[in-house]
Amino acid sequence: MSYGSGYGYGQQQQGGYGQAPPQQQGVDPNWLSGIFQRIDVDRSGSISGNELQAALSNGTWTPFNPETVRLMIGMFDRDNSGTINFQEFMSLWKYVTEWQNCFRSYDRDNSGSIDRNELKTALTGFGYRLSDRFYDILIKKFDRQGRGTVAFDDFVQCAVVLQTLTSSFRAFDTDQDGWIQISYEQFLTLVFSLRS
Amino acid sequence: NFRKMAYQGYGGPPGVYSSGSGYGALPAGFAPAGYSGQSYQLGLAGYSQLPTIDPQVQQWFMSVDTDRSGRITAQELQRALVNTNWTQFNEETCRLMIGMFDKDFSGTIDLYEFQALWHYIQQWKQTFDRYDNNRSGSIEGPELQQAFMTMGYNVSAQFVQTVVIKFDHYGRRSLTLDNFIQACVMLKSLTDAFRQRDTSMTGYVRMSYEEFMSLAILYKP
């Protein structure tokens, strides 16, 4: 379903929660199990936020964005244990891989991070129609390295937040004209309930 | 720049933002210490009088403003607040605090804004202590609602529940001081932003998609 009208909501892509592009070949579960075990450093049988953070790379030699880690755990922790078991990990791994592919495809100059123009191309590709000023805000908010570019972990966070917010907006925009009437408390509640 | 603080302060004249619209104004006595009597009214042409700077505050500020730029980043703010004997605020909270003042998106604040922030934090702490009746170091839902009311925010018990769920990291259905402060920062920023747009004071704002997204992203936790 596409919302390609003037205000550009962003397309609803397959894959459910996130906007990761769909394609996926089969993956050898044994191989994946090996990866899981390497990540599960304390051999607890499931992966914690810290273990996941340590295992992920954002290409900047700094720790992976903890908010992105929390987001992902929140998405895939089906049994609400606070950790990721192997079943959950298989889905998470697939999700991360799809995002990596997506990121690489938009990092045209292979710099390892996405600059403002590449970000605009990416988000426009996802179906968003946003002003230049808005991209200023995005970079300011999500660029944790302070270089005016977005690393992989920040890129994922940005995209997921955009999608979550857009869904919230859509829920209010019953006539779909890109405008909503919102009360003080509805507005507060909406932002306060945002998961990172 | 000093002038942009004019419409930031809590203390508008009592009654301007009366509880009809649900925002509440701070009761007159709640103006941050050092600012009572100062005039921070909207957009007057000349300067109002600059507040005096507390030498201790200035010391904290300068101890982290190592390049003497007159402005500090979220990271430097984090260090400054530790120096004032607060337990460490996480960097995201510090970024949000800067966001309370940072109109030009520079990601920094100056000495006056730092002092204003410091006063807000002091006020919030006082409010927290006032409602932490059993000195447990945390406050629960009903107490939290009262605390918000005292600060002038007329919010429902349901909203307070949302806040508790959001900030309750220990599953205790209560907020520690650090979480409470973060909630206050967000509450203030969001209320100010909403209030600015609700020019006819109806308690409702008509917002475009992008405006909504901008606000939520700027002030989100």
pLDDT of residue B4: 31
- A115-125 per-residue burial string, b: 16 or more CB within 10 A, e: under 16: bbebbbebbee
Across the range A74-79, mean pLDDT stands at: 89
Structure tokens at B95: 């970024």
B53-219 to CATH, choices 1.20.1050.10, 3.40.1390.20, 1.20.120.160, 1.10.238.10:
1.10.238.10
> A29 to chain B, minimum CA–CA distance in Å?
34
Contact between chains at B209 and A169 (C-beta distance less than 8 A): yes
Task: Please report, to the nearest 10 degrees, the dihedral formed by the alpha carbons of residues B197, B200, B201, B204 taken in order.
Answer: -60
ipTM of the predicted assembly exceeds 0.85: no
In a domain, A9, yes or no: no
- Of A56-60, B92-96, B169-173, highest mean pLDDT: A56-60
Q: How many domains is chain A built from?
A: 1
pLDDT of residue A8: 56
- A39-69 per-residue burial string, b: 16 or more CB within 10 A, e: under 16: bbeeeeebbbbebbbebbebebeeebbbbbb
Residues 6 or more apart from A163 whose CB is under 8 A from it? A10, A18, A19
Task: Choose among A131, A183, A189: nearest Cβ to B210.
Answer: A131
> Which DSSP helix (H) or strand (E) runs through A182?
strand A179-183
Contact between chains at A7 and B209 (C-beta distance less than 8 A): yes
Task: Please report, to the nearest 10 degrees, the dihedral formed by the alpha carbons of residues A135, A139, A142, A144 taken in order.
Answer: 180
What tens digit of pLDDT does each residue of B192-210 get? 999 999 999 999 999 999 9
Cβ of B105 under 8 Å from any chain A Cβ?
yes
Structure tokens at A189: 């509640």
In a domain, A82, yes or no: yes
CB B71, CB B157: distance < 8 Å: no
In a domain, A111, yes or no: yes
For chain A, the residue count is: 196
Contact between chains at B163 and A192 (C-beta distance less than 8 A): yes
In a domain, A134, yes or no: yes
pLDDT of residue A25: 60
Structural domain including A89 reads 29-194
Query: Three-state SS for A136?
Result: helix
pLDDT of residue B35: 30
> Taking the model in full, what pTM does it have?
0.74
Angstrom distance (rounded) from CA A152 to CA A65: 9
Contact between chains at A187 and B194 (C-beta distance less than 8 A): yes
Query: Three-state SS for A150?
Result: strand
- Domain layout of chain B by residue ranges: 53-219
Angle at B193 between CA B189 and CA B196, to 5 degrees: 140
Percentage above 70 pLDDT, chain A? 86
- We report the CATH number of the domain holding residue A145 as 1.10.238.10
- Using only the alpha carbons of chain B, give its radius of gyration: 17
Structure tokens at B58: 């200035």
Cβ of A137 under 8 Å from any chain B Cβ?
yes
Per CB-CB distance under 8 Å, the chain B contacts of A183 are 203-204
> A104 to chain B, minimum CA–CA distance in Å?
25
In a domain, A12, yes or no: no
- Using only the alpha carbons of chain A, give its radius of gyration: 18
Long-range CB contact pairs, A134-141, < 8 A, 24+: A134/B210, A134/B213, A134/B214, A136/B105, A137/B105, A137/B214, A137/B217, A137/B218, A138/B217, A140/B105, A140/B107, A141/B217, A141/B218
Interface residue of B208, B210, B219 to substitute, partner A, most A CBs within 10 Å: B210
Cβ of B162 under 8 Å from any chain A Cβ?
yes
Strands (E), B82-220: 109-110, 138-140, 174-176, 204-208
pLDDT band for position A4 (cuts 50, 70, 90): very low
Query: Three-state SS for B175?
Result: strand
Cβ of B202 under 8 Å from any chain A Cβ?
no
Task: Choose among A146, A189, A194: nearest Cβ to B221.
Answer: A194
Angstrom distance (rounded) from CA B202 to CA A169: 20
A59-73, A79-93, B34-48, B90-104: segment of lowest average pLDDT: B34-48
pLDDT band for position A195 (cuts 50, 70, 90): low
CB B72, CB B61: distance < 8 Å: yes
In a domain, A41, yes or no: yes
CB A93, CB A129: distance < 8 Å: no
Cβ of B147 under 8 Å from any chain A Cβ?
no
Per CB-CB distance under 8 Å, the chain A contacts of B212 are 165, 169, 180, 182
In a domain, A42, yes or no: yes
A3-17, B15-29, B70-84: segment of lowest average pLDDT: B15-29
CB B204, CB A123: distance < 8 Å: no
Q: Which conformational region is residue B34 in: left (phi greater than 0), alpha (psi within -120 to 50 degrees), or beta?
A: left
pLDDT band for position B41 (cuts 50, 70, 90): very low
What are the distances in angstroms from CA A151 to CA A59, A69, A95, A146, B195?
7, 14, 17, 10, 35
Per CB-CB distance under 8 Å, the chain A contacts of B197 are none
Query: Three-state SS for B139?
Result: strand
Is residue B218's pLDDT more than 90? no
